[in-house]
Amino acid sequence: MSRPGLNVRLLIGLVCLLVLPLVSGAKNPSEYAKLLADLKAGNTNIDYARLRMSYVDSPERKKAKDTTAEEKAMSQALQSKDFAGALKDAESVLDQQYVNMDAHFVAFVAERELGDAAKADFHRTVFRGLIDSIRNSGDGKSPEKAWVVISVHEEYVVLRALGLRPSGQSLVGQNGHMYDVMKAKDEDGNEETFYFNTDIPMKDEKF
């Protein structure tokens, strides 16, 4: 005769074996979360391109709240030299979207003006890392070597970082890809043309 107690224990054990992988898998952090944790821990030598790309399809992005109001407020506060207010709004943006380059720039300036050199240097380093991760994706001078962005806003941040002012824009398709063709002028009025691969933002207009 079989022992009922033993059968129950076997059944419970089997259920645990089936359920445990699902539970542990649900707790596994995303690639974005792992990179972000590493960065926040002080490792500024992370792969910033992977940080940006992994954010696109991450659970963190899907749960992120809209920060349009905070982005506008942090810029206005910075212009009016309300550095404490600018930092507060920038941190609110970064809580939802740590790959937001504008927020890192505002945080850098605000921390510098508030006297925290270490935090200012950290945000400046992250800002440069994010900018360079875009510029290292190509030279921006042709569709074949277009700069790859995850949002249209990144295009304007890159141009601004290069000291250029947008003077024209057009969207073109070529070989199954979409590109923003951006014309921009420097301080002397010299105009250049740059290509941005917009496959990612075109697939997700929410971004």
Q: Is residue 114 part of a domain?
A: yes
Mark whether 37 and 131 lie in a shared domain. Answer: yes
Mark whether 119 and 43 lie in a shared domain. Answer: yes
Range of 97's domain? 31-135
- Report the predicted TM-score, pTM, of the whole model to 2 decimal places: 0.83
pLDDT tens digits, one per residue of 50-103:
999 999 999 999 999 999 999 999 999 999 999 999 999 999 999 999 999 999
Mark whether 117 and 156 lie in a shared domain. Answer: no
Q: Is residue 38 part of a domain?
A: yes
Q: Using the 3D structure, point to which of 118, 135, 152 is the last residue of a domain.
A: 135
pLDDT tens digits, one per residue of 35-62:
999 999 999 999 999 999 999 999 999 9
Mark whether 87 and 41 lie in a shared domain. Answer: yes
What DSSP letter does each residue of the chain carry, written as one string?
---HHHHHHHHHHHHHHHHHHHHHHHHSPPHHHHHHHHHHTT-TTS-HHHHHHHHHT-HHHHHPPP-HHHHHHHHHHHHTT-HHHHHHHHHHHHHH-TT-HHHHHHHHHHHHHHT-HHHHHHHHHHHHHHHHHHHTT--SSSGGGPEE-SSHHHHHHHHHHTT-EEEEEEEEEETTEEEEEEEEE-TT--EEEEEEE-HHHHH-TT-
